[in-house]
Structure 1
Amino acid sequence: MAAISRLQLLQPSLLVKPSVILPKFLRSSSPFSNPYISGTRLRKLSVTPPHCSSSDQIPKSSSTSGSSPSIVGDLLDYLNESWTQFHATAEAKRQLIAAGFHLLNESDEWDLKPGGRYFFTRNMSCLVAFAIGEEYTVGNGFHIIAAHTDSPCLKLKPKSASSKSGYLMVNVQTYGGGLWHTWFDRDLSLAGRVIVKGEDGSFLHKLVKVKRPLLRVPTLAIHLDRTVNKDGFKPNLETHLIPLLATKLEDVSAESKEKSNASSSKAAHHPLLMQILSDELSCSIDDIVSIELNVCDTQPSCLGGGNDEFIFSGRLDNLASSYCALRALVDSCESPGDLSSEHAIRMVALFDNEEVGSDSVQGAGAPTMFQAMRRIVDCLAHQYVGEGAFERAIRRSFLVSADMAHGVHPNFMDKHEEHHRPELQKGLVIKHNANQRYATSGVTAFLFKEVAKIHNLPTQEFAVRNDMGCGSTIGPILASGVGVRTVDCGIAQLSMHSVREICGKEDVDIAYKHFKAFYQTFSNIDKKLNVDS
């Protein structure tokens, strides 16, 4: 009680704010169950406002209130679960199964029916889910939202073990275009996929997440780098960006040395690291045959700002878009009758490897989505003998490429074109680029904005300055892959590709509502415009 009294004196507003949203691991268990949160932060997050009668501080999707419930708390849960692309896919899989979607396997023959809801994964880092309208007929289109599960990060090299100056170090490689200086002096850990040998000789895919701070990349003291503030921090990514794991133990026993050199695969990584992984997985070190691990920031995703209006988190790019799309699909066909009048097929496609160009078996550059679309059309065609069912379906389809957008930075406003400065809390940003770095056209922008207009949702426009380079998305890749109409859009954010990013809380709910409205109303809107007739 004494601690709470001091907190009341210092920050009484925390006890009366109705907007406090806690991550799930703090809402669903003892606030003292995670010893790796600092005491000050723990006290701030664990206080329950007196007006709340339960540990849950947020409205859920099952709310019966007249207004749409916020999904922000659920997004925070998703972010805190999804340290890697594998965990993001696993959590999406769990939620889809809980919502009644049926898991398919790409290697099996499919048996699909109108009104059915299905999904499959590829590499456990790419996912495609779809719901078939009960009024579907052969040749009808797909309404798709596509995003990606990967984010810039550090990944362990195949041989990660190294030692310097009495420290055990972990060699890493950079993945994507990260702001690598933000990874210094952070409490880091490891998460990803491990292949484990089973007792019967089979091999099992398992996910691992070491939740405690395990690694750190320390910066050099200013006394040894006096000009860093004047000349800038310019680390060498090969020699300076190597995390510390532990201090080196000199008195290693002969038995330990023999074990560490037992096989080349084990010698590739520190025995200490392998022991940590085996403890997490409850298996022996010898059973671990392959690892694929990301370096991750351990700080939880949370609300921030004076009015709790921001989301502070890693991997907002692009898990925020992924979750809004996934949730919109699930909720758009949650109740009986939601698909009863639908003529199209509603789909979500979440790809891996966007941050490095999408050219992989699980990336948007692979024909994953289009192969699935063709299989769906063929499966539903039955005895249909007409011409061009799949091609006609493509022409009637519409793709929303959802990726985070560059919000205007108040300290660098000149980096944005004067009339295209997206702001946080002002709705989805529709991205335009005359050189086709984004796939938006005048027609696709109009149709997508018409969805927002009908539902009174705000939208914004973005175009890059002519004297600056422009990023890109999976939109042009998918649009050109088979010729599907596409609009590029995203939630405005700051600190893109930093280890810790920022977006607006209100924009998450707006994006969710816009995506859900797209699924529910686009069929009627699309019938009103045909530019090729």
Structure 2
Amino acid sequence: MAKNNSNFLFQRKFAFDYWDKKTTSLSFDFAKDYKKFLSSCKTERKTVNWIEGEARKIGYQVLQNIGPNTKKPKSLAGKKFYNINRGKSIIFAHFGKKKISDGLHLISAHIDSPRLDLKMQPFYEQEHLGYLKTHYYGGIKKYQWTALPLAIYGVVVKTGGSVINIELGEKEDEPVLMISDLLPHLSKEQMEKKLEEAVKAEELNLIIGNIAQPGKKEEENRVKKNLLSLLNKKYDITEEDFISADLEIVPVGQARDLGFDSSLITGYGQDDKICAFAASRALFDLKNPEFTSLVILVDREEIGSEGATGATSNFIIDFIGELLYLEQGEYNENYLRDVLSLSKAISADVTAGFDPDYADVFDPNNTARLGAGVVLVKYTGQKGKAYTSEATAEYMAYIRKILNTAKINWQTGSLGKIDIGGGGTIAMFLARHNVDIVDCGPPILSMHAPFEISSKADLYSSYQFYKAFFGAKK
């Protein structure tokens, strides 16, 4: 029987062209909550604290002290647990109707973003100006971080164990920090350099003050001493205390609507907090899941995922092992591996959106567009598919069925033309445990810039998909 040729085509659909007014309104309301989250959670610690607070409101409890003396509940269906790893990663579980032996449904995302960190001994003075030395974190374009108002977030831990929280620069009545830029009148040589070389890493130094401590004018480091004195009065810390500190430098500014139609969002750290928010909300809105469902939010993805709080840490597998212990009353390594092999996972991460101003680096057929929905990415990596996992055809078909059955706006994507660049996600680290996994998240523009751009349509489509994934019956 002859069919309409248009049925044979896969067509990208822009959500606002197809959604009714109610769905469009829901997407805008969802974006309001997201912008509040994004503005409040610029670091991993802030994100963990915020999401933990939301989880506790709806009955999530800390999973701890699991062992021989643990009392096994009569029924685990509907029970909700979480755990935090060193204040910088967090994992949630909502027990489903089926036993864990039938497999888990997992969504993983990362909550770190490119930024500047302070060096262990950052303070110095030069030409009567006080400075802090930084070390950039993740893939940044260094020139984008000059002449930009910056805030400082983090903790200083003293040898006695007390933790000093520092947040400065975000409120309107607080001073900001800044890295100077060279005036154009004297920039001839600088502007003839490659962009990568125009601003060097060791030049990303924060200006922090100009007033000297009273004393002899010939005395050295009077500005530095005055600044350390001010910090000591406010926080009761000394220069040595900065050796045991996690202090991050991020752009000042709230997440905002972008465009005359307010259809877009701009803000710092959307890679990958947009997925962390959408996945967490999907789990928190879940009612009576068939499978035990987890959201895993990790640190250190932007620098390779190594470390105790990254995706390569045993924290994730240990948590799943404790869930099994809670269900079975014992721990069995083979059983754990069987469960992982039956599990299904999403690596919730952003991908590149097609930018018409830089069209030469994109493959038009295989690059996502802003506003056309959540993006299904079979593989990431570099050059000949290096440094990545790749979803099987069978798993891609499984995900497609969920997307189409739930009538979610979706599209495919990749990270630019082959051999131009590339990048990876945390998918390959869960895949090492024999878990089926695929990358799926919204596209963004200006990735890794101080302020990135996303679409409200793609944010909401991602939430819809993550919720449908958790709600799958098979």
Residues 2-21 of structure 1 aligned to structure 2 (within 5 Å): none
Equivalent-residue separation in structure 1 for 2:330 and 2:437 (angstroms): 31
Matched, 1:178 2:140: yes
Shift of 1:124: 0.4
Equivalent-residue separation in structure 2 for 1:310 and 1:68 (angstroms): 11
After superposition, the CA RMSD in angstroms is 3.1
Residue identity in the other structure for 1:344:
F
Residues 293-312 of structure 1 aligned to structure 2 (within 5 Å): 293-312=247-266
Give 2:307's match in structure 1, choosing from 360, 363, 383: 360
Shift of 1:461: 1.1
Shift of 1:232: 5.0
Matched, 1:207 2:161: no
* Native 8 Å contact 2:156 2:245 kept in 1: yes
* Native 8 Å contact 1:148 1:319 kept in 2: yes
Q: CA offsets per residue over residues 226-279 of structure 1, 9 Å max, x none?
A: 35555554334333211111114163489x99xx99xxxxx9x86625734863
Give 2:43's match in structure 1, choosing from 84, 91, 96: 84
Query: Could you say which residue in structure 2 is the equivalent of 1:349?
Result: 296
Shift of 1:479: 0.6
Residue identity in the other structure for 1:369:
I
Equivalent-residue separation in structure 2 for 1:469 and 1:127 (angstroms): 31
Q: Which has the higher contact order (CA 8 A, sep 6+)?
A: 2
Query: Could you say which residue in structure 2 is the equivalent of 1:315?
Result: 269
Q: CA offsets per residue over residues 161-207 of structure 1, 9 Å max, x none?
A: 0112221011000111112211111111210122257xxx6x24453
Query: Could you say which residue in structure 2 is the equivalent of 1:475?
Result: 427
Equivalent-residue separation in structure 2 for 1:132 and 1:328 (angstroms): 15
Query: Could you say which residue in structure 2 is the equivalent of 1:222?
Result: 184
Matched, 1:123 2:97: no
Matched, 1:379 2:331: no
* Native 8 Å contact 2:212 2:226 kept in 1: no
TM-score by length of 1: 0.75
Change (3 A) 1:171 1:430: same
Residue aligned with 1:467, SS: coil
Residue identity in the other structure for 1:364:
A
Uncovered stretches (5+) of structure 2, i.e. residues with no partner: 1-21
Change (3 A) 1:185 1:448: same
Equivalent-residue separation in structure 2 for 1:292 and 1:187 (angstroms): 20
Matched, 1:459 2:413: no
Equivalent-residue separation in structure 2 for 1:106 and 1:407 (angstroms): 44
Residues 273-292 of structure 1 aligned to structure 2 (within 5 Å): 275-276=230-231, 279=234, 290-292=244-246
Shift of 1:291: 2.1
Shift of 1:94: 1.0
Uncovered stretches (5+) of structure 1, i.e. residues with no partner: 1-62, 262-266, 333-337, 527-533
Query: Could you say which residue in structure 2 is the equivalent of 1:153?
Result: 115
Shift of 1:66: 11
* Native 8 Å contact 1:353 1:359 kept in 2: yes
Q: CA offsets per residue over residues 66-115 of structure 1, 9 Å max, x none?
A: 96883211111111111211111111111111121112347887666332
Equivalent-residue separation in structure 1 for 2:214 and 2:232 (angstroms): 22
Q: CA offsets per residue over residues 212-231 of structure 1, 9 Å max, x none?
A: 34211121001111355555
Shift of 1:130: 0.6
Equivalent-residue separation in structure 2 for 1:274 and 1:511 (angstroms): 48
Residue aligned with 1:217, SS: coil
* Native 8 Å contact 2:376 2:439 kept in 1: yes
Residue aligned with 2:447, SS: coil
Matched, 1:326 2:280: yes
* Native 8 Å contact 1:186 1:216 kept in 2: yes
Q: CA offsets per residue over residues 31-62 of structure 1, 9 Å max, x none?
A: xxxxxxxxxxxxxxxxxxxxxxxxxxxxxxxx
Equivalent-residue separation in structure 2 for 1:186 and 1:141 (angstroms): 47
Count of residue pairs the alignment pairs up: 435
Q: CA offsets per residue over residues 506-530 of structure 1, 9 Å max, x none?
A: 111111111111111x2x2x3xxxx
* Native 8 Å contact 2:112 2:300 kept in 1: yes
Residues 15-94 of structure 1 aligned to structure 2 (within 5 Å): 70-94=29-53
Shift of 1:490: 1.8
Equivalent-residue separation in structure 2 for 1:277 and 1:423 (angstroms): 50
